[in-house]
Amino acid sequence: MPAMKIIQTPGGDFTQKVEARLKQLRFHPDFLRERNEEVINLTREFIESGGKREEIHKLRGQGHVEASRLWQACSEYALIKDTYPARVRFLSELLKYIGGVTKDRPKVADDGCGGGVDLFCLTHILGDAVELVGVDPDGFALNVARDRNPGLELRESLGDAGKFDLVYCDFVDWGRGRMTEYDVDGKRDEWSAALAEGGLLIQNVDFPDWQRETYKDIISTSFNPLRDELIQTIPEFEDCHLIVFEKK
Ligand SMILES: C[S@@+](CC[C@H](N)C(=O)[O-])C[C@H]1O[C@@H](n2cnc3c(N)ncnc32)[C@H](O)[C@@H]1O
């Protein structure tokens, strides 16, 4: 018996709440303080040069202090620029599932929480309705997430954090052409161990079709795929695929 049911047609106010919150966020004093022109320009250069990832990895490799700042800038950039409609759309989709969890206070992990923008939005939208935990193996990203989400539990792995009702992953790195090099079996087992009976694994990915199918095959030994759908395409942004799995 699954621990939760899924609401297929959400109340329209979920989307409205997300939109209202994100609009507010764009003018939040903390947000404006962090978003200085220099950082935005630096980030834009990285993105436009196509070298963003490599540069960031290089900086991280050197333990460069700027890496943390870049992390912050990249996630702000995502909010204010091209990815804004996609983020609203995606968070609305995610909230449908969280809203469908029958427990009073479901436990939700953002696995690969990065700089914690989604955590910030979810905290403000959901308040105490959900117990949120942010997870990221990248210490730089976690520091940014910590600044942005004081008081929230943040950790380097799902590890012994207890059982979750829902694990959410937003563009975690294994989707970027590197999935075949990545230990997907290990990650699947980690998710499976961390999820409660009938728990949901929700992923926002941009894998090419062939990779998605391989990925689903691997994951399907422990999970039933419930949904795989393109949810947003805008010219400046990658295709977003929402994949939802239920723990067997
Ligand atoms: C696109 S970012 C997520 C951004 C985030 N949703 C936000 O709101 O700021 C993807 C994250 O996945 C993390 N990641 C990479 N490999 C991971 C793994 N094996 N487990 C968990 N997170 C991982 C990366 O460090 C990165 O922070």
- Same domain for 39 and 149, yes or no, is no
- Same domain for 47 and 107, yes or no, is no
- Where in the sequence is the domain holding 116, given as residue range(s)? 84-247
Name the strand (E) or helix (H) holding 118.
helix 117-126
User: What local confidence, expressed as pLDDT, does residue 95 receive?
Assistant: 79
User: What local confidence, expressed as pLDDT, does residue 2 receive?
Assistant: 40
- Same domain for 239 and 128, yes or no, is yes
Query: Of 33, 59, 80, at which residue does a domain stop?
Result: 80
Residue identifier of the C-alpha nearest atom 2 of ligand 1: 114
Q: State the total domains in the chain.
A: 2
Query: Of 57, 80, 103, at which residue does a domain stop?
Result: 80
Mean pLDDT check: name the lowest of 148-152, 200-204, 211-215, 236-240.
Answer: 236-240
Residue to probe by mutation, ligand 1, list 91, 172, 178, 241, most atoms within 8 Å of CB: 172
Integer Cα distance of 30 and 193 in angstroms: 37
- Same domain for 187 and 75, yes or no, is no
**Does the beta carbon of 126 lie inside 6 Å of ligand 1?**
no
Integer Cα distance of 38 and 81 in angstroms: 16
- Three-state secondary-structure class, residue 50: coil
Distances (CA, A) of 176 to 99, 131, 163, 238: 29, 29, 28, 11
Q: How far from each other are the two terminal CA atoms of the chain, in whole angstroms? A: 10
Tell me the per-residue pLDDT of 42-69, one tens digit each, with 9 for 90 and over. Answer: 444 544 544 444 554 554 444 434 445 5
In a domain, 11, yes or no: no
Average pLDDT taken over every residue of the chain: 70
Query: Of 56, 80, 104, at which residue does a domain stop?
Result: 80
- Same domain for 60 and 139, yes or no, is no
Which pTM value belongs to this model?
A: 0.76
- Same domain for 40 and 89, yes or no, is no
Integer Cα distance of 3 and 143 in angstroms: 33
Closest CA to 107 of 188, 191, 167, 37: 167
**Does the beta carbon of 118 lie inside 6 Å of ligand 1?**
yes
**Does the beta carbon of 75 lie inside 6 Å of ligand 1?**
yes
**Does the beta carbon of 171 lie inside 6 Å of ligand 1?**
yes
- Same domain for 168 and 227, yes or no, is yes
- Same domain for 178 and 60, yes or no, is no
Q: Comparing 198 with 173, which gets the higher pLDDT?
A: 198
Contacts of 37 (CB under 8 A, 6+ apart): none
Q: Among the atoms of ligand 1, which is closest to the Cα of residue 121?
A: 8
- Same domain for 132 and 31, yes or no, is no
Q: In what order do the strands lie in the sheet with 195-205?
A: 153-155, 131-135, 107-111, 164-170, 195-205, 240-247, 223-232
Domain containing 139 — which CATH number? 3.40.50.150
